[in-house]
Structure 1
């Protein structure tokens, strides 16, 4: 069974914030998906597993989510509806360090990292999971841009600073170690990543450049008599 069994007029999972029983069902499915991803990873996650651990009948799971891909995508969508806000220490340097340390704390502990790591793995195997992961982090980075906006207001960063590029630069070296080179991360590395991003901000590396003017046609040179 696939998504074609769903009511074509029904909203996509995660596209609204239902209440009451619907919200409880969605949360139960999300929790079961997180547990399954942490315990056995995306390839082994099944509708049967989610049904058993959520208490939601398989028929309902297929009808509302279409299958495992839909449930994983909706679990990420639900995670993105939280009230998380970036740090506000009053200094850009400390805000960037706090952001970097959140990455280390979230992925450095194997127990806490199991589900989010599985989400990343699922994104390489499922287009819907990849789209959901992209949307989740796009929203997270969008919220983090407030850190740079406040710094600009305080005069700590040039007004032309690309906030999105800055907050991505903070986590990029940490994610490289976590998911590419498979090296450990710690607080010292978090501070180093934040300090490198800050130095780049102060050097104007992340300043948006004004677009270059279009090339003007060269004027013809009069021929000599």
Structure 2
């Protein structure tokens, strides 16, 4: 009896770990598929990419909307992690910003607008919390670079995130088979344009992430 109890107890953490790995694989697969093909890709394809059965997806997420909600949280949280790490670990402010921009591309931030435009509740407390954390992290990065005179002063967090989103979306069609190589090349060109002193005056006003959420 005692041996059976010990065996059951020792099995429980392993099962929980397996379930957690499956959940993470589903979220990662969904993020990749959404970036490539849009948010309405069949769940069968997400399950295939994750290496799980359809039933496993529904054990973790009640429907597509809940899955997309968690993918959005994962993308935003991962990008926020990158902003905080870059600021803490890089001695030079613009090097920190450069590291963040390339890391955000690797986090597949190109999925973000696709996710948030798919009927998600943008006022959900979890989304608000991670959006605020992301905004604060990127604002700190950009603020440090502005104080040091390395970053032009006429852009805001929203400007940076829109550009990142646009530059990390795959082009329509299947001709760019190595899209990631183009992403980092073009991001580097974009970063060169952010450095101070600015060579031109930007039209309009700088925006925040919150501004983007409330614009039609």
Give the TM-score of the pair, scaled to structure 2: 0.52
Hey, what's the Cα distance between the residues in 2 that align with 1:38 and 1:128? 20
Aligned residues: 163
Q: 1:78 aligns with which of 58, 70, 74?
A: 74
CA contact (8 A) 1:42 1:122 kept: yes
Look up the match of 1:65: 61
Aligned pair in 2 of structure 1 residues 170, 97: CA closer, same or farther (>3 Å)?
farther
Aligned pair in 2 of structure 1 residues 177, 58: CA closer, same or farther (>3 Å)?
closer
Hey, what's the Cα distance between the residues in 1 that align with 2:32 and 2:161? 27
Deviation at 1:134, TM superposition (A): 6.3
Q: 1:174 aligns with which of 151, 158, 163?
A: 163
The CA RMSD over aligned residues, in Å, is: 4.5
**Ranges in structure 1 where 5+ consecutive residues have no aligned partner:** 1-17, 107-111, 158-164, 198-205, 207-225
Counterpart mapping for 1:183-202 below 5 A: 185-195=186-196
Counterpart mapping for 1:87-126 below 5 A: 87=87, 88-100=89-101, 106=105, 115-126=108-119
Aligned pair in 2 of structure 1 residues 169, 129: CA closer, same or farther (>3 Å)?
closer
Look up the match of 1:50: 46
Deviation at 1:42, TM superposition (A): 1.1
**Ranges in structure 2 where 5+ consecutive residues have no aligned partner:** 1-14, 172-182, 199-205, 207-216
Aligned pair in 2 of structure 1 residues 130, 124: CA closer, same or farther (>3 Å)?
farther
For 1:86, what is the secondary structure of its paired residue?
helix
Look up the match of 1:143: 137
Aligned pair in 2 of structure 1 residues 193, 169: CA closer, same or farther (>3 Å)?
farther
